Structure 1
C-alpha cells in the first residue's frame, strides 16, 4: 500500500559515511535529508518535519550529545526519535547520557545494513502511524461534535456523516465503530468487520460477541475502558489482541471518545481500531536480528580474544604482526559474511582476499568451482588460509620470486577438498615441532569442522590437503552461543 513518505535526517561530518547511510536506507523509499554538522541539522529541523534523526556521536564543534540536548529543548522535537551512531566503544555512562538526551537507540560501527534499515523502518512506521492516529483523533473529535448537532436536526444528516467517515478510514487497515451507551446498540463499519475477521451477515455486534473475540489476556482492557468512561473519562486509547474465528491472532490499537449530553452523561462512545500486526511482527524481527548480531559479535570477539591470548612470539614486533594478521583475516571474512547477510561466503572470494598482498608476478594459480561455505566454515577456513599464506611468505614458495603456489579445490558428496601445493621455493625440511599457526589450523579444521588436515613437507615445497564437510549434520556443530567457548578450548589445546 502506498504511503506518505517521511523525512529521515542523516547527520555526520564525514561525506563518505553520509553516502553509505544513503545507500543503505534508499530502499526504504523515504525522503533522506543530509546535514554535515550539528548546526546545519538544527537549521533543517526548523524548516522541515523530521520523523527520525540518525546522528554521529563524535562530531567537531557540536557533538551528538550536545545536538540532542538542543533538539530536546525545542517543544516541537521533544518526541522526535534519535538514533546515535558511535564508532567508539560506548560506556554505560555515555549510553545513559544518550538516553537522557532523548536517544531511542545506539548503532555501533561497522554498521550492519539490515539492522540499521530495520531500526529506521520501525521508527518511521511508528511516526507515520502516530501522525495517522493524531489526524484520526482530530477528525473523530470534529465529527463527534458535528454528529451531536446533526442528531438534533436530522437523522439523515447523521447517516451521511457516518458514511463519509467510514469511507475515509476504510482506506487503510482501520475500522470505526459506535456504541450507544443508553441502548447498548453497536454499529461497525466494513473495516471493523474486516479487522476482526467476521462478516456482517453472520456476526451480531454485541458486548458478549465482541468480548469473545478479544484475547483472554486483554479482556480486562474492555472492562477498564467502560469503567474509565463511567468515571468521567472522555477519551481512551489502548493496544489489545483479537483472536479471529479462524484462530489467527492480530494486534490492534483502539482509540475511543465519548459523547455527553447536556447533563454531562455519556450517551455514545465512538472509536477507531487500527490493525498494527505488521508493525508488531517487524519489531519481533528486529529483536531477533539484534540477538543474532549480538551472537555473531560475541563469537568473533571470543575468537579474537583467543588469538591475542595464545599467540606466541620472541619479540613484541613479531607478536603484534602475528596478532594483527590473524585478526585482520577474521575481519575480512566478517565483511564478506556481512555483505551476504550471514548466509555464507564463496570460497574463491575468501582466497582472493587472503592472497591479495602476495599475487605478484603470476606466482599463484587458482583452480576450482564456485563453492558456497557456511558462516562457521568460512571463518575457520579464512584463518587456516591466513596461516598458510603467512608461513609461505616467511619460509616457503612466496618468500622468493622463483617460488610457485597452486591452490585447487573440488566439492564432492557435500565435502570440500582443498589442495595447497608449493614449489620452486627454498629447500623444505620437516619441522621438528609445530608452531601455533599450524597447531591452531589443525585444531580448528579437525575439531571445529570435523574435517582433516594433512601436511607433506616435501623438499621441493609444502603439500597441504584440507578436507572439510560443506554441511553441518553432526553433533560437532556448535550450538548457538557455544562457539566461543569451543573455539577457545580448541585453540588452548593447540597452544599446549
Structure 2
C-alpha cells in the first residue's frame, strides 16, 4: 500500500525535528506544521493522513482548540489525534482531550519506542480501515452491478411476460398448470376471461372447472380421462358454460409431467377460445346448404321451364327454351356478383333489352332511379321484362321498323312502378287468354310479391304497368334474362290417381308452383294455391278444406315450421318440397316425406298416393 501521511504540529522547530527523527524509522511521509493555521491548510491538501501529533501548549490556539476545529470537518471526524505535552496536565485536561476526540497522550520527554509503537498502531488501523473501505466499495460495486443485471433480467422477463400475456389475450388464449395430486390449478388472466369468471371470487380447482364444462363434453375431457390415456401430450375440444349461461367453444393443448414411477404429477398447457371459429364453420355449413338449396331451386325452375314451354315445332321449342334458360343464367350471374344480396334494376333491363338494341338502338328508351331488388324479385322482374320483350318482338313494337319502346320506372312511398310502353307498332289487341309468357309476368308479380300487373291493349301498342311493393327494394344490383312465350299444353291422358283430392300448395317459386299444380291437376287433384308466402299459407290452412299439403321448406327466407306444426297438430298429411338436404330439416319432421327439387312427376304422384291412401275421401278442414 502507498505511504501514509503523519502530520506533526508544534510551534517549536526543535521538537518537530525530534519527532521527525523518532518517526523516520516508520518509513511514512512526515509532514510538519509550525502553527495551527498552517496545519489546517495542510490537512485540507493532504489525501492520506493517518495520524496527527499536536502539541497541547501553543500560542493563540492551543492543541485542544485545534483538535476541536479538526473534528468539525467531516473528513477528519475519525482521524487519529495524539496530544504531546511538555507540562503536567490535570485529569480534567485528559478528559477534555478525549471528549474532543484524542486517541492518546504522550508526555515529554518522549520515549522514542513508545511514540513509534503508538503511531504504528494507528497507521496499521488506518490501513486496515482503508482496505475495508476499498473492499466495501468493491463489494458495493459488485452488488450494484449484480442488482442492475438482475433488474435488467427482471425487466426483460416482465416485458416477455407482458408480450406473452398480450399475445395470449389477443388470441383469446390462457395458460394454466394443474397439480394432479391436490387438484389445485394455477391460471393466468386468460382462463378467467374465457370461462367468464372473476379472479377475486373464483378459485380454480379441477372440480370447479370440470363442473363448468358442457355435460356432453365433460367425461371425455376430464383430467382423469386425459391422464388415463397415457400420452404425454394431449389436444381436446370442449364447450364451457359461463355463469351467465353463454356457451363458448374451447381448444385445449397440454403436456403431462410424470415422476420416475410414471405417475402423472402435473399438467401444463393453454386454452384457446375458438367460439368464433366454430361459428364461422357453422356459417360456412349453412352457406354450403344454402348454395345447395339455391342450385336445386334453379334446377327446379329450369325443369319447370322445360315442362311448361310449348311450341308448334322442335325448332320453336328449342329457341323458346334457350331464350328462357339464357335469361335465368344472366340473372344468376348478376346475383352471384353480389353474393345473392340483390340485383340492380338498370342492369336487369340492360341485359334483357341488349339483343333488341342491336337493331333498334334509337327506338328503345329505358331509365329510372337506382333500385336494388331482392334476389327472388330480381328473377321475377327479369323474367317479366324478357317475356314482354319477346312478345313485342313477335307481335308488338319491336316487330316493325317504326315501332318504339319506352321502359321507365319510378319509386314512390309504396311501390316500385315500372311502365312498359309500346308505340308505332301493330295495334294491340287484347287476347282471349294470356299466353304462358305473359302469364308468367302476372303470376310472378301478383302471386309472389302481392304486386300489380295491368295490361292496357291500346291501338298504338301495349302499355303494361308493373307495381312491386317497396319492401322488395334494397338498393342497386344485377339481373337475369326472362323467358319466352309458348302455346298452352293440353292435359295429358294419364291415370287420375289423385281424383277427388284437395291439396294445399305453398311454394314461393312461381314456375315450380305452376309446374307442380299442372302435374297434380293432370292426376285429378284440386290444388289450393300455390301460395308464395308463409302468412298466406297459414291463412289458407286455417280457412280452406283439403286432404293433404305440399310445403316448400324455405318460403322467401322464412322456414315453413309454423305451417308444418299446424298441419301435424290437425293430423293432416303433407310433404316437403325443397332444395335442402334431409339433415337440414328439424328432427321433429323426421317422418315427413321430403321431395327434392327439381320435382319428378312420377315420384310426386307415388309419394302423394301413398301418403293419402289410408285416409278418408271426406274433405278435411285445414
Match of 1:488 in 2: 515
Does structure 2 retain, via aligned residues, the 8 Å contact 1:397–1:422?
A: yes
* Residues 401-420 of structure 1: pairs in structure 2 closer than 5 A: 401-420=401-420
* Contact 1:443-1:494 at 8 Å conserved across structures: no
Tell me the residue number matched to 1:215: 214
Alpha-carbon separation, structure 2, partners of 1:458 and 1:400:
17
| Matched position secondary structure for 2:355 | coil
Alignment of 1:377-392 (within 5 A): 377-392=377-392
Offset, 1:183: 3.2
Q: 1:269 aligns with which of 267, 270, 281?
A: 267
Which protein is bigger by CA-based radius of gyration? 2
Q: Distance in 1 between matches of 2:198 and 2:427?
A: 85
Over residues 104-141 of structure 1, what are the superposed CA-to-partner deviations in whole Å (9 max), with x where a residue is unaligned? xxxxxxxxxxxxxxxxxxxxxxxxxxxxxxxxxxxxxx
* C-alpha contact (below 8 Å) 2:345/2:373 kept by paired residues: yes
Aligned 8 A contact 1:440 1:494 in 2: no
**Separation (CA, whole Å) in 1 of partners of 2:415 and 2:240:** 50
Taking the aligned partners of 2:229 and 2:300, their CA distance within structure 1 comes to 58
1:13-412 alignment runs, 5 A limit: 168=164, 171=167, 172-223=171-222, 225-230=223-228, 232-359=230-357, 360-412=360-412
* 2:463 is the counterpart of 1:463: yes
CA offset at residue 386 of structure 1?
0.4
What's the CA shift string for 1:16-69, capped at 9, x where partnerless? xxxxxxxxxxxxxxxxxxxxxxxxxxxxxxxxxxxxxxxxxxxxxxxxxxxxxx
Q: Secondary structure at the match of 2:294?
A: helix
Question: In the TM superposition, what whole-angstrom CA distance separates every residue of 1:152-202 from its partner, at most 9, and x where no partner exists?
Answer: xxxxx9xx9999689547513222211122333221122222222234332
The 3-state SS of whatever aligns with 2:272 is strand
C-alpha displacement at 1:436, in angstroms?
A: 1.9
Equivalent residues of 2:455, 2:462 under 8 A apart: yes
Aligned to 2:65: none
Change (3 A) 1:394 1:279: same
d(CA) in 1 for partners of 2:430 and 2:455?
10
Stretches of structure 1 lacking an aligned partner (at least 5 in a row): 1-156
CA drift of 1:363 comes to: 0.6
Please state how far the C-alpha of 1:385 moved relative to its aligned partner: 0.7
Does the Cα contact within 8 Å between 1:405 and 1:420 map onto a contact in 2?
yes
Q: Which residue does the alignment assign to 1:453? A: 453
Q: Secondary structure at the match of 2:471?
A: coil
Instruction: Please list the CA deviations of residues 389-448 of structure 1 after superposition, one character each: whole Å capped at 9, or x if unmatched.
Output: 111112221122321011122223332222211111234444455322122322222222
Q: What is the alpha-carbon distance in structure 2 between the residues aligned to residue 378 and residue 417 of structure 1?
A: 14
Alpha-carbon offset, residue 264 of structure 1:
1.8
Aligned-residue offset at 1:493:
10
Are the counterparts in 2 of residues 443 and 490 from structure 1 also a CA contact under 8 Å?
no
Deviation at 1:274, TM superposition (A): 1.5
Tell me, in whole angstroms, the C-alpha distance in 2 between the residues paired with 1:480 and 1:310: 17
Give the whole-Å Cα distance in 1 for the aligned partners of 2:413 and 2:166: 56
Instruction: Report the CA distance shift for 1:481/1:373 in structure 2 as closer, same or farther (over 3 A).
Output: closer
Q: How much does 1:356 deviate?
A: 0.9
Residue 362 of structure 1: CA displacement? Answer: 1.2
Looking at structure 1, the residues matched to 225 and 518 of structure 2 have their Cα atoms a distance apart, in angstroms, of 65
What's the offset of the Cα at 1:485? 4.2
SS at match of 1:246: coil
Alignment check: 8 A CA contact 1:214 1:242 kept? yes
Aligned partner of residue 245 in structure 2, secondary structure: coil
Larger RCO (CA under 8 A, 6+ residues apart): 2
Normalising by the residue count of structure 1, what TM-score does the alignment of the two structures yield? 0.61
Q: Name the structure 2 match of 1:13.
A: none
Q: Secondary structure at the match of 2:208?
A: helix
Deviations 1:79-120 (A, max 9, x none): xxxxxxxxxxxxxxxxxxxxxxxxxxxxxxxxxxxxxxxxxx
Tell me the distance in 2 between the aligned counterparts of 1:179 and 1:277.
24
1:439–1:494 CA contact under 8 A, matched in 2: no
Q: Would the alpha carbon gap of residues 386 and 309 (structure 1) be closer, same or farther in structure 2, given more than 3 Å must change?
A: same
Structure 1 pair 270–481 and aligned structure 2 pair: CA distance change class (3 A): farther
